[in-house]
């Protein structure tokens, strides 16, 4: 039975950052690490071991795939991109987070009863 996007939620922080990095374009591993550091303003850094462990799992789950071919500038580089399922999972996670934030905002704006 095919898995739905909701099956993968909620995502771990490292997974979310990797999917977020690949959401706009295909990337190779070191660029993903740099992008994750940029997204979190340096607070969240992925080491190569953690990154490729996550990529290995995400490819196994069918959320990420190789973009095909090696990097033109560096033969060691491989590019990765989101699959259709991966994009669906990423969107579902963003929706979930948005709902959480909206709910938190409503609670914050609601006047306190005394």
Partner 1 sequence: MRSLYIRLLEAHPAEFRRRFGDEMLEAFDLSAGFRATAGLFADGVLSLARQWLLRSEFRQPAGTSPAYDLVTFHQIEPYKPSGIALTQGGLAAILLLAGIVNAINHGGGHPGSLPIGMQRPGLGFIKIDRSDLEGRPAVAAEAAKDEDDPMRPFARSYFRILRALAALDTDGDLTISAAEVAGAPAALRALDGNHDGKLSAEECGFLPPGDFNGPRRLLASKRRAFVRDNPVLAALDTDHDGEISASEIANSAAALLALDLDHNGSLSPYEVLPHPATSRAAGIIGRFDISDSGVISIAGLPQDDPDIASIKRLLTAADRNRDGLVTRGELVVALASRAGEETIKP
Q: Which residues bind partner 1 (CB under 8 A)?
A: 28-30, 33, 45, 47-50, 52-53, 55-57, 60, 74, 76-78
- How far is Cα 104 from Cα 35, in angstroms, rounded to an integer? 28
Residue 58 CB, shortest distance to partner 1, in Å, is: 12
Residue 50 CB, shortest distance to partner 1, in Å, is: 6
Our CB check for partner 1 shows the closer of 18 and 55 to be 55
Residue 79 DSSP SS3: strand
Our CB check for partner 1 shows the closer of 57 and 98 to be 57
What does R_g of the chain's alpha carbons equal in angstroms?
17
Our CB check for partner 1 shows the closer of 59 and 97 to be 59
- How far is Cα 38 from Cα 20, in angstroms, rounded to an integer? 12
CA 30 vs. chain centroid, Å, equals 15
């Amino acid at each position: 039975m095919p898995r739905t996007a909701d099956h993968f939620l909620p995502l771990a922080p490292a997974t979310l950052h990797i999917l977020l990095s690949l959401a706009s374009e295909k990337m190779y591993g070191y660029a993903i690490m740099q992008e994750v550091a940029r997204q979190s303003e340096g607070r969240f850094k992925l080491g190569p071991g953690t990154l490729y462990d996550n990529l290995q799992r995400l490819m196994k789950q069918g959320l990420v795939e190789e973009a095909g071919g090696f990097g033109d500038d560096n033969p060691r580089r491989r590019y990765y991109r989101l699959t259709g399922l991966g994009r669906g999972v990423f969107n579902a996670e963003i929706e979930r987070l948005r709902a959480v934030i909206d709910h938190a905002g409503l609670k914050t704006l609601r006047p306190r009863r005394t």
